[in-house]
Amino acid sequence: MTLAQLKNSPQHWAERVDLAAAFRWTARLDMHEGVANHFSLSVNDDGTQFLMNPNQMHFSRIRASDLLLLDANDPAMLDAPNAPDPTAWGLHGALHRRCPHARCAMHVHSIHATVLASLADSSLPPIDQNTAMFFGRYVIDDNYGGLAFEEEGERCAQLFQDPKKRVMIMGNHGVMVIGATVAETFNTLYYFERAAETYIRALQTGQKLRILSDEIAAKTAAELEDYPDQAESHLRELKLILDEEGANYAT
């Protein structure tokens, strides 16, 4: 199937709408990077065909019909008209080839997550409920190698082999979040940025941090992970707000 055929496929409409809503809300939260950064979502059983935003299109304008449908096993798509951004292809293509559990992937350079990624120690201590949500559930990449072309993308994908690790703090770069659905992944991305902001602001006080015990942090993380329907409700409400405002994301 050619890139044009994939892009114009009427399939996966509900998934397209969810992903478009996530782009719109990420822009509203100022977690985007102009016309850079990318989200993707697998749509076939082995995860190798995926939706992704077009090259150089602002998150605030993306519609469901704009999303590219790509095949991670077909590098010829990089040479086709309306080809994806090569760094997005390198990072997301590698993820969808190597990590079937990474059905959805969201990469941003949001301010607080990127500040965290810029510290010599990029770990996120459990100092409140949001930071505890990520206890034992992230990996730190300490070996930034430049823009995420093919080789760098393959290296990053290797760090996501543990399905429990849903967040990669990309040292000197930003953050990558993976999940099973758009709702789950966006919810994780949202709360990771909130958690990073809490931690960075706590550091700015210069006072000693009140850090939770490993036992309580692990308990809290497990409880939040099993909290019923929060991610789905979060995305549903955001879509309802967009609909009430007359946004065209679902077109």
User: What pLDDT band is residue 148 in, cutting at 50, 70 and 90?
Assistant: low
Q: Render 187-243 in DSSP notation, one character per residue.
A: HHHHHHHHHHHHHHHHHHT-SPP-PPPHHHHHHHHHHHHT-TTHHHHHHHHHHHHHH
Q: Are strands 167-170 and 104-108 parallel, antiparallel or unpaired?
A: unpaired
Within a domain: residue 249?
no
Q: Identify residue 40 by its one-letter amino acid code.
A: S
Task: Please choose, from the candidates 204, 200, 138, 127, the residue with its C-alpha nearest in 3D space to the C-alpha of residue 175.
Answer: 138
Cα separation, 179 vs 194, whole angstroms: 18
Whole-number pLDDT of residue 186: 98
Within a domain: residue 189?
yes
User: What pLDDT band is residue 9 in, cutting at 50, 70 and 90?
Assistant: low
Domain that holds residue 112: 3-244
What digits encode the pLDDT tens for the residues 85-121?
Answer: 998 999 999 999 999 999 999 999 999 999 999 999 9
Look at residue 7 and tell me whether its pLDDT is greater than 70. Answer: no
**Which phi and psi angles does 46 have, rounded to 5°?**
-90, 0
What digits encode the pLDDT tens for the residues 161-175?
Answer: 899 999 999 999 999
Whole-number pLDDT of residue 76: 87
Look up residue 23 and give its two tokens: 């782009």
CATH label of the domain that carries residue 9: 3.40.225.10
CA distances for 5 relative to 69, 70, 249, angstroms: 9, 10, 21
DSSP-based three-state secondary structure for 111: helix
Whole-number pLDDT of residue 11: 80
Q: Which residues contact 5 (CB under 8 A, 6 or more apart)?
A: none
Q: Which residue has the tokens 């995860």?
A: 47
User: What pLDDT band is residue 153 in, cutting at 50, 70 and 90?
Assistant: confident
- Provide the H-helix boundaries in the chain: 3-7, 13-28, 86-88, 94-98, 111-118, 129-132, 150-158, 182-204, 214-225, 230-244
Whole-number pLDDT of residue 5: 45
Q: Is the pTM of this model over 0.75?
A: yes
Number of domains in the chain: 1
What digits encode the pLDDT tens for the residues 125-143?
Answer: 999 999 999 999 999 999 9
Within a domain: residue 130?
yes
**Which phi and psi angles does 153 have, rounded to 5°?**
-65, -40
Whole-number pLDDT of residue 58: 97
Within a domain: residue 250?
no
Cα separation, 211 vs 193, whole angstroms: 19
Within a domain: residue 251?
no
Within a domain: residue 213?
yes
Whole-number pLDDT of residue 3: 47
Q: What integer best gives the mean pLDDT of the chain?
A: 93
